[in-house]
Amino acid sequence: MRKPSKVRHLAKRRKHASTELSPLRAFESAFTMSLVPMLIADRNGQCVEANDNASKLIRMRRSALLRKKLDEVFELPHPAPGGSIQTRLLGGEILDAEVRVRQKDSAPVRLRLRANALERDMWLISLTRIMDPAAKAHNAWHPSGTNALLEEFFPLPWGNEDTDFQALFQHSPYGICILQNDRIEVINPTFCKLLGYRSSEEIVGKEMRDFLDEGSRMFFSLLQHRVYRGEAVPTRFETRMIRQGGSTIDVETSFAHIWYKGAPALNLSINDITDRKELEKRLTDSESLLRNVINSMVDALVITDLQGKVLDVNDEFQRFTGFSRREAFGADIPYPWVPEEDLRSYIGWLEKLRENNVLRDFDITWIRKGGERIAVSLNTTLLRNTSGEPVLMVNIARDISERQASREELSRQLQRLQVLYDLSSALTNSLDSEDIARTTFQQLGKVIPVDTFLIHLYNEDLKEVMTIYSVDTIGGKRVEMPVRNGPTALDKSLATAKVISSRKPLLELRDTVHQRVGSGNAPSDRSFASTMTVPMVSKQKTIGVLSVHSSKVKAYSDEHVTLVQSIAHLTGLAIEKAQLYQETIRKSQEIEARNKELDDFTYVVSHDLKEPLISVEGYAKMMRAEYQDALDEIGQEYLQAVVDSCSHMKHLIDDLLLLSRVSKVSENRSSVALSNLMRDVLEELQFSIREKKAQIVVQQNLPSVSAVDTHLRIVLRNLLANALKFCDKPIPRIEIGATVGPEATTIFVRDNGIGIERAHFEKIFLIFQRLHKKDEYEGVGAGLTIVKKIIESHGGKIWVDSTVGQGSTFYFTIPTA
Amino acid sequence: MEQGDESLRILLIDDNHDHARILQWAFKKTGRKDEFTYFDDGSSALQYLKTTDSGGNIRPDLIFLDLNLPRLDGREVLRLLKSEEGTKGIPVIIVSSSEREEDVRKAYELGASSYVSKSSILDDVNPVLQTIQAYWGSAAKLPLRK
């Protein structure tokens, strides 16, 4: 058996030495060299010869093939009409049938088997592979696929004496003609049939050019001349020929230089490729359709081989990633559009394809050619050929960056909302400015990059700023900085001053950072790439400034400014509230201290006044006792006036002393039963009550209250005494009752006395206020003041309702026990 | 009870001379023959008391003590009297112009036998005397009284 290299060698030799071959040698070499798989079988159907291509097609070594019978190699379709191949050959049938060849490890191959009878009960069997369109498409598409469509007729020197070759010539499925000087000398029936003529006489003797389409003539004659000159020509080329009636036919043509009747001639074989052209056209059409579909896809498409080498991409891929088809073609993993950190998971993803033909929704990041990152959802499909073997991977990538972006935006918004919410609830609970500033910083740090953070308070009246909180990043750690300085005058050159005067946020973004050498630690001494300064405004006044700095370039956006403004607003309100609270605390402490001072003063003064008073009274009494006889009646009267005045003054002083003592007593409160207390007080006043013939009505089951026993006693005694005192009715009537509330109990003392003008409802509680002349109603005028002070020291209120001439009702509240 | 009618040796400590004078007068006015020794400051009174046993000074039966004294405060005088073995047996009656609750309570805590306000003595000395007599009556049988 000859190897292909020898075949080529032989062809070369023939080209140069155009010696006339013996017919048998010619047949043998043509048989061997032919690209058409051919066998020769004897009458028993036994293979006696096979060429290389037959051996290749059947996938059986030639030596093995020669031991086989045709029926052992080929299978007729079932049911086979007309029996086995051998019986049909013996029956003289010219066999043209579809057969199948069983091959090891793969699907049976469909073949067209044509048998032509040679001499001596020998048959020439030629084989053509029947390609199904899908397989053809695959072969056409696949660069490495062997083009099995191509078959070739073998060139054959013509000899009348050799009937074997005549039969071969006559029955060849290829059109064959011999040209000499462009004149058609001989044709076979197939040639005749292909051109649509009935007999060879209509063709033979005519010039070849008459049968060539205008578009093919030039090329054909060019090749013709090259063959004659012994130059290389394509083995096969396409020619369009004119058939009878003017229609055209596309044929595949091959030339061979031969000797015919002692002169150089061309052996021309043609093969109808109309079907193939049609198929190719359809393929081209479907391919371009497919291409259009692929390109019109809104998703990016990447087709790779099984190793991941990119075979094709669509237009969307180019638009989406910025990589052109040319750049993408042949790219291998790692692809430039898959980020390094995602590579491992991407490969893992592809490996999963071994188990699944389709993988869906793999979220991955791609990098555009410009470096921009895009979120992508990947679907990958494994494509298999007709035999079921995987051949390609198709990746479809969808841009989900918008979806991702809106999702991220949503979560950002939520986070901001959360921060504002956390901040406002945290701030509600704090009344300490530093605490508030710290909380603000902590919350702010969750949403924006912060290297330093500062809160300054601004005093508009004094035009002073004071740092109340400062955080800096030192060695990568955020550290609270001590706030050393007190208020300082506002430096107009600082951003803070600008923000204070404009009440508008200030965003300063630099592309580069100039770090000052040897600068201090204070954030204000350094310079940052990004600085945001936002005012804290309350009631149209700038109460402070919040500033954040970051060493990152463009760390803050306008959106951040809006957020920080909201935060600064909350913080401002909280700080203001805290300051108000501190101020209130300070004032109330001040008032308390002042009250205490006043009480102490009152006490000391009263006490000091009392000392000489005791002396005056004492001497007056001594004088009255020892020198009564020395004084006349008027003198004794004067002396009595001194004693009376002393007594009055003593009462005044005692009341003042009492008043100074009742203020801070709330700590000694206990549960006091009002009914017991009333009984004691009525007993104390029994003399007056009897004297005035007063009617006292006390509500049954008076409740208990939380009070200082002795003080509440003073209150009731004073109110009852007043009710008895300020009465012009023959029978004074006094009612005492109480209503219990959850917090406070309201107690009333009602009389039918002289009543109080509405204008005096407040005045009566002021110290030493008398509405009447001294001789009308005795008393120093401190009683109700003491009552009021006691009630207020218990956290209660006292008020009066009265109608002049009808009586008054005093109400007061005291904590419920 | 007979002892209550006896004249007592009373040590009076009060910085206010007028008050001291009026007090002595009020006692005398009732017809009693009490013997008053008067000091207008605490230190001299304490000095005097120190010599009662050894130096011939007569030990008083009763001490009237004002609280509001210059330099050595009445409360401090009371505390010293009650901490000294020689004086702690002598009853002390606080005679003060203050009627403040805490002053009264403090006085009793420090060992005062009674507390009377100056105003009330002026108004009526009898309750004071009754107090003294009551004390005297109950204290008569105590071994301290030599």
B-chain residues near A620 (CB < 8 A): none
Dist. CA A204–CA A208, nearest whole Å: 9
A710, closest residue in chain B (CA to CA): B101
> What pLDDT was estimated at residue A488?
81
Question: Quick one: A613 and A691 in the same domain?
Answer: no
The structure tokens 């206010």 sit at: B16
Q: Are A460 and A542 in contact (CB under 8 A)?
A: yes
Tell me: pLDDT of A9 over 60.
no
Dist. CA B36–CA B25, nearest whole Å: 11
Taking only the tens place, the pLDDT of each residue in A323-345 is 988 888 888 888 888 888 888 88
Minimum mean pLDDT among A90-99, A315-324, A576-585, A599-608: which range?
A: A90-99
CA–CA–CA angle B97, B100, B105 (5° rounding): 110
Q: Which of A767, A371, A452 is nearest to A598 (CA)?
A: A767
* Both structure tokens of A606: 């009263």
| Higher pLDDT, residue A383 or A163 | A383
Dist. CA A492–CA A694, nearest whole Å: 79
CA distance, residue A632 to nearest chain B CA (Å): 22
Given CB atoms, is A405 within the 8 Å cutoff of chain B? Answer: no
Return the residue in A604, A611, A642 with the most chain B beta carbons within 10 A, the one to mutate for interface testing: A611
Calculate what percentage of chain B has a pLDDT beyond 70. Answer: 84
Given CB atoms, is A621 within the 8 Å cutoff of chain B? Answer: yes
CA distance, residue B101 to nearest chain A CA (Å): 10
Taking only the tens place, the pLDDT of each residue in A190-204 is 888 889 888 888 888
Size of interface A-B (CB pairs under 8 A): 41
Rank A442-446, A594-598, B78-82 by mean pLDDT and report only the highest. B78-82
Dist. CA B45–CA A183, nearest whole Å: 172
B-chain residues near A625 (CB < 8 A): 29
| Higher pLDDT, residue A550 or A768 | A550
B17, closest residue in chain A (CA to CA): A615
Taking only the tens place, the pLDDT of each residue in A381-414 is 888 877 778 888 888 888 887 777 788 888 888 8
The DSSP line for A99-164 is EEEEETTEEEEEEEEEEEE-STT-EEEEEEEPPPHHHHHHHHHSTTS--TT---PPP----TT-HH
B27, closest residue in chain A (CA to CA): A622
Coil, helix or strand at residue A390: strand
Calculate what percentage of chain A has a pLDDT beyond 90. Answer: 9
The residue type found at A397 is: A
Last residue of a domain, one of A561, A585, A609: A585
B-chain residues near A622 (CB < 8 A): 22, 25
Give the mean pLDDT of A431-443: 87
B-chain residues near A611 (CB < 8 A): 16, 19, 68, 97
Domain of A574, in residue numbers: 408-585
A654, closest residue in chain B (CA to CA): B99
Tell me: pLDDT of B128 over 60.
yes
Question: Quick one: A130 and A157 in the same domain?
Answer: no
Strands A477-480 and A464-474: antiparallel
Dist. CA A633–CA A639, nearest whole Å: 10
> What pLDDT was estimated at residue B92?
92
Secondary structure in 3-state letters for A597-640: HHHHHHHHHHHHHHHHHHHHHHHHHHHHHHCHHHCCHHHHHHHH
Question: Quick one: A531 and A433 in the same domain?
Answer: yes
> What pLDDT was estimated at residue B6?
66
A611, closest residue in chain B (CA to CA): B97
Tell me if A692 is assigned to some domain. yes
pLDDT confidence bin for A106, thresholds 50/70/90: low
Tell me: pLDDT of A785 over 90.
no
Tell me if A655 is assigned to some domain. no
Average pLDDT value over all residues in chain A: 80
pLDDT confidence bin for A534, thresholds 50/70/90: very high
Minimum mean pLDDT among A370-374, A530-534, A720-724: which range?
A: A370-374
Q: Are B95 and B14 in contact (CB under 8 A)?
A: yes
Dist. CA A737–CA A608, nearest whole Å: 40
Taking only the tens place, the pLDDT of each residue in A733-783 is 999 999 998 989 999 999 999 988 888 888 888 877 666 666 666 666 678
CATH of the domain at A225: 3.30.450.20
pLDDT confidence bin for A521, thresholds 50/70/90: very low
Task: Return the H-helix or E-strand segment holding A501.
Answer: helix A495-502
Closest CB to A614 among B29, B101, B122: B122
Tell me if A322 is assigned to some domain. yes
Dist. CA B75–CA B66, nearest whole Å: 9
Residue A450 forms beta bridges with which residues? none
**Are A611 and B99 within 8 A, CB to CB?**
no
Q: Which of A87, A109, A88, A89 is nearest to A99 (CA)?
A: A109
Neighbouring residues of A803: CB distance < 8 A, sequence distance ≥ 6: A755
> What pLDDT was estimated at residue A780?
60
> What pLDDT was estimated at residue A526?
62
Tell me: pLDDT of A140 over 60.
no
Dist. CA A727–CA A735, nearest whole Å: 14
Last residue of a domain, one of A147, A166, A182: A147
Question: Quick one: A265 and A362 in the same domain?
Answer: no
Dist. CA B51–CA B37, nearest whole Å: 14
Question: Quick one: A167 and A23 in the same domain?
Answer: yes
Residue B65 forms beta bridges with which residues? B13, B94
| Numbered residues of chain B with Cβ closer than 8 Å to any chain A Cβ | 16, 18-19, 22, 25-26, 29, 68, 97-101, 118-119, 122
Minimum mean pLDDT among A126-135, A315-324, A802-811: which range?
A: A126-135
Question: Quick one: A598 and A538 in the same domain?
Answer: no
Burial label for A484, CB within 10 Å (0-12, 13-18, 19+), is: exposed
> What pLDDT was estimated at residue A228?
80
| Higher pLDDT, residue A654 or A451 | A451
pLDDT confidence bin for B63, thresholds 50/70/90: very high
**Are A650 and B18 within 8 A, CB to CB?**
no
Question: Quick one: A474 and A544 in the same domain?
Answer: yes
Q: Which of B26, B10, B140 is nearest to A619 (CA)?
A: B26
Q: Are A310 and A320 in contact (CB under 8 A)?
A: no
> What pLDDT was estimated at residue B66?
93
**Are A607 and B19 within 8 A, CB to CB?**
no
Tell me if A313 is assigned to some domain. yes
A625, closest residue in chain B (CA to CA): B29
Task: Return the H-helix or E-strand segment holding A227.
Answer: helix A214-228
Rank A81-85, A526-530, A715-719, B114-118 by mean pLDDT and report only the highest. A715-719
**Are A622 and B22 within 8 A, CB to CB?**
yes
For residues A232, A234, A238, A240, the Cα torsion angle rounded to the nearest 10 degrees is 0
Return the residue in B15, B17, B22 with the most chain A beta carbons within 10 A, the one to mutate for interface testing: B22
B23, closest residue in chain A (CA to CA): A618
| Higher pLDDT, residue B115 or A771 | B115
Taking only the tens place, the pLDDT of each residue in A39-60 is 888 878 888 888 887 888 888 8
Dist. CA A759–CA A771, nearest whole Å: 11
Q: Which of A230, A231, A234 is nearest to A255 (CA)?
A: A234
Dist. CA A733–CA A371, nearest whole Å: 99
CA distance, residue B146 to nearest chain A CA (Å): 36
Return the residue in B119, B120, B125 with the most chain A beta carbons within 10 A, the one to mutate for interface testing: B119
Return the residue in A607, A608, A614 with the most chain B beta carbons within 10 A, the one to mutate for interface testing: A614
Closest CB to A614 among B19, B25, B101: B19
Question: Span B2-134: which CATH code?
Answer: 3.40.50.2300
Calculate what percentage of chain A has a pLDDT beyond 70. Answer: 85
> What pLDDT was estimated at residue A745?
93
Question: Quick one: A671 and A631 in the same domain?
Answer: no
A-chain residues near B26 (CB < 8 A): 618
Chain centre to alpha carbon of residue A352: 26
Tell me if A385 is assigned to some domain. yes
Dist. CA A569–CA A537, nearest whole Å: 6
Tell me if A48 is assigned to some domain. yes
Closest CB to B97 among A610, A621, A625: A610
Tell me: pLDDT of A497 over 60.
yes
Tell me: pLDDT of B135 over 70.
no
Q: Which of B98, B92, B68, B95 is nearest to B78 (CA)?
A: B92
> What pLDDT was estimated at residue B136?
63
Q: How many domains is chain A partitioned into structurally?
A: 6
**Are B100 and A657 within 8 A, CB to CB?**
yes
Give the mean pLDDT of B60-87: 89
Tell me if A273 is assigned to some domain. yes
> What pLDDT was estimated at residue A812?
95
> What pLDDT was estimated at residue A148?
28
**Are B118 and A619 within 8 A, CB to CB?**
no
Dist. CA A16–CA A11, nearest whole Å: 9
Last residue of a domain, one of A147, A165, A186: A147
B97, closest residue in chain A (CA to CA): A611
The residue type found at A550 is: S
Dist. CA A763–CA A771, nearest whole Å: 9
**Are B97 and A615 within 8 A, CB to CB?**
no
Tell me if A414 is assigned to some domain. yes
Taking only the tens place, the pLDDT of each residue in A168-192 is 777 778 888 888 888 898 888 888 8
ipTM: 0.82
pLDDT confidence bin for A705, thresholds 50/70/90: very high
> What pLDDT was estimated at residue B55?
58
- Phi, psi (deg, nearest 5) at residue A312: -165, 155
> What pLDDT was estimated at residue A776?
63
